Structure 1
Amino acid sequence: MGKFSCYALIAVEIIFIKTIWHFVPNLTIGAPVIKSLRKHTKAYLDCHLMVTNPLDYVEPLGDAGASGFTFHIEVTKENWQELVERIKSKGMRPGVSLRPGTPIEEVYPLIESANPVEMVLVMTVEPGFGGQKFMPEMMDKVRTLRKKYPSLDIEVDGGLGPSTIDMAASAGANCIVAGSSVFGSPKPAEVISAMRKAVDEAPRIV
């Protein structure tokens, strides 16, 4: 993410950060970048951790100024309660993500807990590398979540852009992560604004 890209995204008030270490082989952004960004913006900094040990990163990301901390259900089935509590104690908003092959039912306990996650991220590509094709079959998970939890924040990540945003928004996703379609555009802020408009104008599932 270059200097121009950072400031273009700051202009639209939200930045989704992929923090990747051990769960997948590709490294992107860590706590030092979050700290640097926080010096220049009050934007919501949402961190998606594809790691095997997310508890180790709660304190450094919280101290760096992260706003949201999303972990994967696949590696936290035994300790998610402690993780959610720690995330909230550092002033961050907890979210849970699931890979395309993970049944949606696995996140229900985290949503229905007395101390719940506040967002569910449905991966629409296999996590790890950008530029993959959007998996439309994942919209069944989004629709299921939206019908079961009408007020839940539902995020989608992977292959999102002008040609797929309407599909995601109409399924019930209200938080959109886009990488290649934004950074590959000469006008990234305009791409983000157009996708935000699609979400705002999508028909509501009731």
Structure 2
Amino acid sequence: MNSLVKSIIVLGGVSLQSVNAFTSISRSNVADISTTSLNVYGTPRKVQIIPSVLPADFGKLGADCKRLEEAGCDRVQFDVMDGNFVPNVTFGPETIRWCRKYTNMPFETQLMVSEKCTDAMLEEFVEVSKGPNGEPGVVIVHVEACTHLHRALGRIRAAGGSPSVALNPHTPAEMIENVLDLVDHVLVMTVNPGFGGQAYIPTMTEKIKKIRKWIVDRDLDVDIEVDGGIKATQETIGECAAAGANCFIAGSGLFAYDDLSEGVKELTDMALEAQGVAVGAK
């Protein structure tokens, strides 16, 4: 799809235009940078640090979201788990709605749920993921849980969200190749989903490279996110950034810092260095 008209999607004969600025899904997301020697394939995209709320204190989740906003995070990810798609249970849409009262930060919701749950509640999750003024929030569905993936992504866009797709470590990249023109983000799971604090799976680096090449070669306006085991190390965030990822989900890797802003800075600097971009150019 032509990048200049990517934000206009025609569904059932109706043109729907999403507001891209809030979720950084437009061409402005290409990094405004001075470079040294670029490592990443194509023009580097803006580094974004996106904490997962899994390690947060669920008894004061709203307050922790406010802390993350004050630390300089780009948005926050809510990991919705139903005990079926993954072996854990977290929360539903009402919890996300309550957190909006505490912060103006953009939201991102990853639906690690069964297909039945996705079908029944997709529009509700789109609604609670929106910004304080109705800006589109990122809503991520898993390819493994969507028999009709094109339809699910279209429903997210039609409801005013930013459609995005995730794939588990064992899932080939080719499973999402034919929907790249319908999404704003591709999330590569770098651990098996369901629990925080797991170790990065090194073989995911090649998957990131493959998806990045497809995106660049087709001139698509799509971010690559990575989720799982991300820390301020060359072996995790460094490898992912050099491979082409630019959005980094950090849970325990960020909450391990007493000063969250220090964690955001260290993660960002390591990613920029791996991209071959001057540190401080976020």
Matched residue type, 1:147 = K
Report if aligned partners of 1:97, 1:123 keep a CA contact under 8 Å in 2: yes
2 CA distance for matches of 1:183 and 1:144? 30
Q: Deviations over 1:103-158 (max 9, x none)?
A: 1011001114xxx0111111100111111111111010111111121242000000
Q: Of residues 42, 45, 48 in structure 1, which corresponds to 2:104?
A: 42
Distance 1:49 1:63 in 2: 14
Select the residue among 76, 80, 93 that pairs with 1:31.
Answer: 93
Identity across aligned pairs (percent)? 34
How far the C-alpha of 1:90 sits from its partner, in A, is 1.8
- Report what 1:8 is aligned to: 67
Residue in structure 2 matched with residue 106 of structure 1 by the alignment? 175
TM-score (norm. length: structure 1):
0.89
What is aligned with 1:55?
119
Rounded Cα–Cα distance in structure 1 between residues aligned with 2:161 and 2:127: 10
How far apart are the structure 2 equivalents of 1:29 and 1:170? 34
Deviation at 1:174, TM superposition (A): 0.5
Partner of 1:156: 226
Once residues 75 and 30 of structure 1 are traced to their aligned partners in structure 2, the CA distance between those partners, rounded to angstroms, is 17
Kindly indicate whether the alpha-carbon contact (under 8 Å) linking 2:239 and 2:274 is maintained by their aligned counterparts in 1: no
2:80 corresponds to 1:19: yes
* Cα displacement (A) at 1:201: 4.2
Give runs of aligned pairs for residues 189-200 of structure 1, distance below 5 A.
189-200=261-272
Is the contact between residue 8 and residue 189 of structure 1 (CA under 8 Å) also seen in structure 2?
Answer: no
Contact 2:93 2:124 in 1 (8 A): yes
1:30-179 matches, within 5 Å, as 30-53=92-115, 54-66=118-130, 67-76=137-146, 78-112=147-181, 116-150=182-216, 151-163=221-233, 164-179=236-251
d(CA) in 2 for partners of 1:82 and 1:148? 22
CA distance in 2, matches of 1:178, 1:57: 26
- Aligned CA RMSD, in angstroms, stands at 1.7
Q: Quote the Cα distance in structure 2 between the aligned partners of 1:68 and 1:29.
A: 17
Q: Which runs of 5+ in 2 are unaligned?
A: 1-55, 131-136, 277-282
Mean Cα deviation higher: 19-28 or 191-200: 191-200
Once residues 105 and 186 of structure 2 are traced to their aligned partners in structure 1, the CA distance between those partners, rounded to angstroms, is 20
Report which of the two structures shows the higher radius of gyration computed on alpha carbons.
2
2:257 to 176, 181, 185: 185
Contact kept? 1:58, 1:90, Cα under 8 Å: no
For the 8 Å contact 1:125–1:133, the answer to whether it is kept is yes
Distance 1:188 1:57 in 2: 33
Q: Structure with the greater relative contact order (CA < 8 A, sep ≥ 6): 1 or 2?
A: 2
Counterpart secondary structure, 2:141: strand
